[in-house]
Chain A
Amino acid sequence: QSALTQPPSASGSPGQSVTISCTGTSSDYNHVSWYQQHPGKAPKLMIYDAITRPSGVPDRFSGSKSGNTASLTVSGLQAEDEADYYCISYEGNNNLVFGGGTKLTVL
């Protein structure tokens, strides 16, 4: 199975918005999650079921999905948003696949 496709990098200035795409997700399910990972740390759940934000995650983070592409948008970029971001998709038959990851740089 192939990893989902994410852009290797993305960037934006403080206060701007940036969107990270995740292509190749199942069109049969909306179970896409997004994770933020800072260097040397465990990943943190930011979005699940494509659009749902766990409690405690700033509302600057939002998710969407259309067809086989999911997206994570970070609005009002802040310095602490600089991290690696990964998507994961449920593919059916109890199989999960991660994207290759996107390094977000806050300029």
Chain B
Amino acid sequence: NAGVTQTPKFQVLKTGQSMTLQCAQDMNHEYMSWYRQDPGMGLRLIHYSVGAGITDQGEVPNGYNVSRSTTEDFPLRLLSAAPSQTSVYFCASTETGANSPLHFGNGTRLTVT
């Protein structure tokens, strides 16, 4: 019963490095999204996708890229990491239907030095 799987759990990057946070779900959910969680700021939407081949920006998209080539996967790319991107990142998915709750992965704690 995997649900939403995020890898890695922890990552340390140097400023300017690039990396991809992986997210996969096995519930056949059309909607997937990425959030970042920072102290005192709750969770903020970075990017989201309503289906394969469709992505859109959320509240804080700058510095991040996404793509959705399959229903199952929704990777988040940091092209040139900055210390301001130090955060905990959560991937989430949900069924089609506005009242459906998000199912969250366990998070990735990223530190950029």
| Chain A bound to chain B | no
Q: Which residues of A contact B (CB under 8 A)?
A: none
